[in-house]
Amino acid sequence: MATPTPSEVRSILESLAFDLRWTWCHEADALWMRIDPERWAQTQNPLAVLRALSERRLGELAAGPSFVAQLQVLNQARAAYSDGETWFHKTHPGTDLSGVAFFSMEFGLGEALPIYAGGLGVLAGDLLKTASDLGLPLIGVGLLYQSGYFRQKIDAAGHQLEIYPSNDPASLPLQPARDPDGKEVRVAVEFPGRTLTLRVWQATVGRTKLYLLDSNDPANSISDRGITARLYDGAAETRLQQEIVLGVGGWRTVRAVSPRIDVCHLNEGHPAFLILERAISVMRAAGLSFRQALWATRAGNVFTTHTPVGAGFDRFPLKLLAPYISALYDGTVDMAEILALGCRDTGNDGESFNMAYLALRGSGTAFGVSRRHGAVSRQLFQPLFPRLPAAEMPIGHVTNGVHIPSWDSALSDALWTASCGKDRWRLPSDDLPASIQALPDPALWEMRALSRGKLVSFVRARLKRQLAERGLDQDSIEAAGHVLDPNILTFGFARRFTGYKRSDLLLRDTARLCRILNHHSFPAQLVIAGKAHPDDRQGKEMIREWVMLAQRPEFRSRLVFLEDYDLTLAQELVQGVDVWINTPRRPWEACGTSGMKVLVNGGLNLSELDGWWEEAYAPDNGWAIGDLASAFEPDIDRIEAAELYDVIERQVAPEFYDRDGAGMAMRWLARARRSMATLTAQYSSNRTAREYLDRAYLPAAQRYDARTADDCRRARSMEHWAERLIRSWSNLHIGEPIIVSDQAARVVSVAVYFGEIDQSDVAVELYADAEKDGMPVALRMVKGDALPGATNGNIYSLHLDSGRPDGDFTVRIVPTYPGVALPAELPLIAWQR
C-alpha cells in the first residue's frame, strides 16, 4: 500500500473523527492520544485535536511508518464494521420493520458532544451505539443545545457554581443533515404569531444516525434562537417550546430524512407532541378524522417512562399550551380532543396538560425501566384506568442496560477478548458465563490492581488541576498529588445529588466513616462525584458537606470529591473502583444504571435493593442494604446508614483483605468472577435492545402496517367499533351470578343485558384478584340462551375448576377486537354491581 500524503492522512483522520464509533473504541483512544496527548486528555474530542494539528506535526505523523500503520488498521476496522453483516440482518431477514425513530431530550455519547445531563441521556446514547453494533434500523432524534447542561465548579467554600460554555457546531462532530436529494434540511414549526425555523444536524454513531434540531437560526427572533440554548431550561414556556420542537419538529425531520420509519420510541414523555403531529400527518394524507388517525398511528408508538414519582412528569398549564396548539392545528383538530389526551379530567379548568399522559394514551406499548419501576409506574398511571386492577395496567418493563464497550477499560477489554472473543457484545452467546468463570485468578487480580492504580493516578491529576483553578496554595495542590493509595479498597459514589438519592447517607456518622477509612487492618478510600440541579438547595448542601469533609486532615488522604462529573470521569470511576455504592430511597430509583458499568471491569456493587439491583442481587455477587418491608419506616435513613456501615466494616472490607499465600483475595475474586459472569451480559444494552426489538418494535411495526394498509381500513373500523362501545357502554347491566356445585365442578351462570352493544364486540369474564405474587384470574364465559322477554340479553356460563372460594370471583365485561391492544387503547370495563 502506498504511503499516504499528509493531506490524505488528515482526510482519513477527519472521517474517523466524525464517526462517534471512536467513543467505544480503545484503539481510537490510543491513536488520538498519540497525536496530541495533552489536548486529547483535556478535551476527549478528536475534532479539537485535529483543529490544533499543525502541518509540521501532521507531516511528522505521515512520515512515521508505525503511525501510518496504526491509522490504516483503524480505518480498515471501521470499514469492516460499517460494511459487515450484522446480527439483525442475520436473525431477522425479510422483517416488516422498516425503521425506528428514537426520540429523547438528551443523548450522552461522549464529551465531544455535550448534550446530556445524566442517566436518561447516557441510556439514550448507549442505545444508539447498541443499535449500530446489532445493525438495528434505528435513528435518534434530539435537540442541539447551544450551552447544554451546566459544567460544575466548586468554590473555596464548597459551593457549587454553574457554568454554561457555548457549543459551537463547527467544533462538534456534526454535519448538516441532508434529505435524500442532498439538500440541507430545514424544518418549520408554527408558533403563535410566527413560524420557527429549525436547522437540523446529523451525528454519525457507527451505522446509526442521530438528528439534532437547533433553533439558533438567523431567520428566528433573538428569543426564539435561544429556545435550544440550555437543556432542561427552568422556564415553563421555554420547556414547552423545546418539547414542541422535539416532538413536532422531530417528526417533520423524520419525514424529511427517513420517510420509511414505522415505529417511534418515546424516551420519557418529553417528545410526546410527536404523537399529535404523526397522527395529524396521516389524517391529512389519508383523509381521516383525528381519532381514526390516532388509531392508525398509535400502534406504531412505544413509550418508556423513567419517572418514579408523579411530580416528575412535565405539565403545562392549559392557558400556556392552548395558543401553541392553535398555531399548529387550528381548524384541523378540535382543541378539546387534544386536551383530552393529556388531562385526567377535561372538565377541570385548573388541571395542567400532562406529557406523560399524552405519551401513554398515544402509544400502543409502554414500559418502565426495571421490574420494580414497572410496578411503580402502574400505580402512577392508575388514575387513567380508574376501574382496572393494578396488575392489568398496560405497562410492562424492560430493565435498562449499558453499552459495555463504552464502559470497559482497555485492561478489561483485553481480558474479555482473550476469554470470549472480540465480537462478544455484538453476537449474543450463551458461552460467556462459562468463559469468564474460567478466568485465571492471577489475571483477574492483576487487572483489578492495575485498574485501581490507574484510577488513583487520574484522581490525583484531576484534583491537582481543580485545586489550582480554585486558587488554593501550592502546598495543598502538591498534597493532592499524594491522595489515595493504589493498594487499598476503593469505593466509588457518583450520582445526581438530590434528596431521594440520599447522597449524604454515608455522612450520617462521620466519626464512624473516619474509622472505616482509616482502619489499621482494613483501610478504605472513597471517591465522590456528582452535580446538583441549580435550583436544588438540598443537593447543593450535600455537595458542600462532602467537599468540606474531604478537606479535614483525617479524611484528606482517604476521601476525594471530584467536581464536574461527566462521561470521562464516569468511565474512569467505573473502570477503577472495587465497589460501587448506591443509596436511593426505595422505591424511588427507577433503574440506576451506574452500578451496571462496573460489572465488566470486575467491580462489585453495594446498593439499596431497588431498581436494577433488586433483580440482580444474589448473596454471592455483591452486597445489599434495605428491603421493602422497612422502606417506609419513619427513621429509615438512620437505620439504613447504620446497615451500610455494618456491611462495609463486617463484610466488604474483611473479604477484600482476606489474602492467600500469594497475596490474592480468593473469596473476593470468586465474588467478582461470579458478578462478571452472571450479570454483565444480562445488564448490557445488547440485551435491552433485543428485548425492545422482540417485545415492542417488531410487533409495533406489524400492527402499524396492518392499520395503515388499504387506505387505513382497519384503523377506520377500529375507531367506529370504539365509538359504538363508548356511546352505549353505560347501558350494560350484569345480573347476580348463580353458582351451582356438584361433585365434578362448579357451574357459574349470569344474566347479561347488552343494550345497544353487539355481543361480539365484548367479552364476559369471571374475574378474581391475584393471590400473593401470582396473576389475576380472568376466565372467558360462554354465551348461552337468550333471556326471555329481554332485548339483546343472554345467559353466560362457565365450568369453574379453581379451588378458590366463590367469594373471590366477580363478573365483568371488557371490550374485544382483533389487533387492538387492550385495555391500553380502550380502557372500558363494566363490573358486576
Q: What is the DSSP string of 11-71?
A: HHHHHHHTBGGGGG-HHHHHHHHHH-HHHHHHH--HHHHHHT--HHHHHHHHT-HHHHHHH
The string of pLDDT tens digits covering residues 704-734 is 999 999 999 999 999 999 999 999 999 999 9
Cβ atoms of 277 and 685 closer than 8 Å: no
Contact call for residues 458 and 449 (beta carbons, < 8 A): no
CATH number for 732-831: choose from 3.40.50, 2.60.40, 3.30.70, 1.10.260: 2.60.40
Q: Which CATH class is domain 99-147+174-314+360-400+690-712?
A: alpha beta
CA dihedral 645, 650, 655, 659 (to 10 degrees): 120
Same topology between domain 419-676 and domain 732-831: no
Helix (H, G, I), strand (E, B) or coil at 793: strand
Rounded (to 5) percent helix, strand, coil in the chain: 45, 20, 35
Identify the segments of the chain with pLDDT beneath 50: none
Q: Where are the domains of the chain?
A: 6-83, 99-147+174-314+360-400+690-712, 419-676, 732-831
- Full-prediction pTM beyond 0.85? yes
What is the C-alpha separation between 16 and 51, in angstroms, rounded?
14
Angle between helices 510-517 and 636-647 (to 10 degrees): 10
Residue 190's H or E segment, with its range, is: strand 186-191
Q: Give Dmax over CA atoms of the chain in angstroms.
A: 100
CATH number 3.30.450.20 is the correct assignment for the domain at 419-676: no
Kindly list the distances between the CA atom of residue 223 and the CA atoms of 213, 215, 229, 241, in Å, as whole numbers in the listed order: 16, 10, 10, 11
Per-residue pLDDT at 630: 61
Radius of gyration of the chain (CA): 29
Question: In terms of Cα–Cα distance, which of 215, 223, 179, 221 is closest to 198?
Answer: 215
Q: Is the peptide bond before 823 cis (omega within 30 degrees of 0)?
A: yes
Q: In what order do the strands lie in the sheet with 762-768?
A: 777-780, 762-768, 809-815, 830-831
* Closest residue by Cα to residue 21 from 61, 81, 66, 68: 81
Q: How far apart are CA 281 and CA 432, in angstroms?
A: 46
CA distances from 309 to 116, 207, 589, 753 (A): 21, 36, 10, 41
